[in-house]
Amino acid sequence: MKVIGIVGMPASGKGEVSRVARDLGIPVVVMGDAIREQVRAAGLPLTDANCGAIAGKLRADLGMDAIARITIPIIEETGAPVVLVDGIRGDYEVATFKEHFPEFTLIGIVSSFETRYRRLAERGRSDDFLTVEELHLRDERELGWGLGRALEEADCLITNEGTLEEFTAEVRALLCRLGGIGE
């Protein structure tokens, strides 16, 4: 099984990579879904606070790579030859995926702070209304989980500073090459 991981700062374009993968018929496993499943299993309402609390408890009980470990069976259950995993936040998680899946490739998405801030404002999701300071805080929180070190581990980097069409074309070509899929 080939597993492709995606890592990038907030609003760098990870969701667009997942969309391209789905278009190509590659199943996408979102690590946050594994957390939500645990929240449901604990009989708790699916709030942001409960997800954060359960994720924190999982890390305290099982270690920094806890979410990767609970995601592995979900990836395997797809039974697909190529799977994309979205939601990697730290280098411990990368190490766990690499150890478990010999054919693991990590794609890093790189976008500047200014570009990400502009795109967040344009995306307009309910949790997207951030000030510059708030995006800095979100960046710092993610870097605190080892996101910077995870990005350093990437096997290939894609810069997302141009148009969406340019980005998705580059992503599509890369996913086809990595997944052994004809374009």
Ligand X SMILES: Nc1ncnc2c1ncn2[C@@H]1O[C@H](COP(=O)(O)OP(=O)(O)OP(=O)(O)O)[C@@H](O)[C@H]1O
DSSP 8-state class, residue 180: T
What is the number of other CB atoms lying within 10 angstroms of the CB of residue 151?
21
Under the binding rule (CB under 6 A), the answer on residue 13 touching ligand X is: yes
Binding residues for ligand X, rule CB under 6 A, total 15
Nearer to ligand X (CB atom), residue 42 or residue 169: 169
Under the binding rule (CB under 6 A), the answer on residue 11 touching ligand X is: yes
> Residue 9, annotated ligand binder?
yes
Return the H-helix or E-strand segment holding 18: helix 14-23
> Residue 126, annotated ligand binder?
no
Both structure tokens of 18: 């997942």
Under the binding rule (CB under 6 A), the answer on residue 90 touching ligand X is: no
CB of 170 to ligand X, least distance (A): 10
CB of 79 to ligand X, least distance (A): 26
Measured distance CA(136)–CA(153) in Å, rounded? 22
Q: How far is CA 39 from the centre of its chain?
A: 19
Q: How would you classify the pairing of strands 82-86 and 28-30?
A: parallel
Among 5, 10, 90, 179, binds ligand X (CB under 6 A): 10
> Residue 12, annotated ligand binder?
yes
Among the listed residues 96, 121, 99, the one whose alpha carbon sits nearest the alpha carbon of residue 11: 121
List beta partners, residue 5.
85, 106
> Residue 146, annotated ligand binder?
no
CB of 56 to ligand X, least distance (A): 19
CB of 102 to ligand X, least distance (A): 27
Under the binding rule (CB under 6 A), the answer on residue 160 touching ligand X is: yes
What is the number of other CB atoms lying within 10 angstroms of the CB of residue 43?
6
**Binding-site residue ranges:** 8-15
Residue ranges binding ligand X (CB under 6 A)? 8, 10-16, 119, 123, 160, 162-164, 167
**Binding-site residue ranges for ATP:** 8-15
